[in-house]
Amino acid sequence: MAVAVASADVYVHWRVYHSSRVWRLGLRGDERMNRVLRHTLERRGHRVLHARTVPGHGSADQLVIGPGGLWLVHNEAWHPDAEISHHGGKLFIDGRTQSKLVGALTARAEAAAVAVSRVAEVPVKVTPVLAVHGGDLVRTPFAADGIVFAPPLKLVRWMSRNPTADLSPDEVEGLMRAAVQALPIGGRSALSAAA
């Protein structure tokens, strides 16, 4: 019995330590989400652009283009004890609203849609989603302020089950080319490589 209790205790501590790794290292989770996307959606015909700049709105961690539509993925890591919830359709982290984060992400997705639409010469919708690394999520996935919040694997599952468009493989490739032209390479990883 003592061995079973000790094993369970070790497992719980390892799980907490592992789940807080992104936050402890001061990362936002981009690399972890890149791996998740590579091993899931990219194997099913989705295309992913990493670390692209949305002119006038900062960087997009990932832009996922697939048969079900386009998603702008933003990654954030919070302290493992931070309570992430929603009330009345608004996002709350430790009891405080996150208007600045939500507003910036929504504006970035809208600007990306305009830029890609202009190059592709067809109207497209880019749906903002947020991959949560760490934190104490009350229930996932959940939508708040028009953005879906979930841990990486649940977010990928949600994107697969909630299409926003019906695109053929040729349309996916065309939108991929348009996004490459409309959204230049940027982000933290490109800046780090240049330094």
The answer on pLDDT for 77 being more than 70 is: yes
Whether the upstream peptide bond of residue 80 has omega within 30° of 0, thus cis, is: no
Residue 122 DSSP class: S
The answer on pLDDT for 193 being more than 60 is: no
Percent of the chain topping pLDDT 90? 55
* Measured distance CA(178)–CA(148) in Å, rounded: 25
pLDDT band of 21, cuts 50, 70, 90: low
Q: Per residue in 36-72, pLDDT tens?
A: 999 999 888 899 999 999 999 989 999 999 999 999 9
Report the pLDDT value the prediction gives residue 84, as an integer from 0 to 100: 87
Nearest 5°: the CA angle 168, 180, 67 is: 20
Bridge-based pairing of strands 126-137 and 147-150 is: parallel
Question: For the residues 185-191, what does the mean pLDDT come to?
Answer: 52
Report the pLDDT value the prediction gives residue 191, as an integer from 0 to 100: 35
Pull the structure tokens for residue 24.
């402890």
Report the pLDDT value the prediction gives residue 194, as an integer from 0 to 100: 36
The answer on pLDDT for 178 being more than 60 is: yes
The answer on pLDDT for 154 being more than 50 is: yes
Cβ–Cβ < 8 Å for 149, 142: yes
Report the pLDDT value the prediction gives residue 28, as an integer from 0 to 100: 62
Q: Per residue in 89-141, pLDDT tens?
A: 898 888 888 889 999 999 999 999 999 999 999 999 999 999 988 778 877 89
Report the pLDDT value the prediction gives residue 68, as an integer from 0 to 100: 93
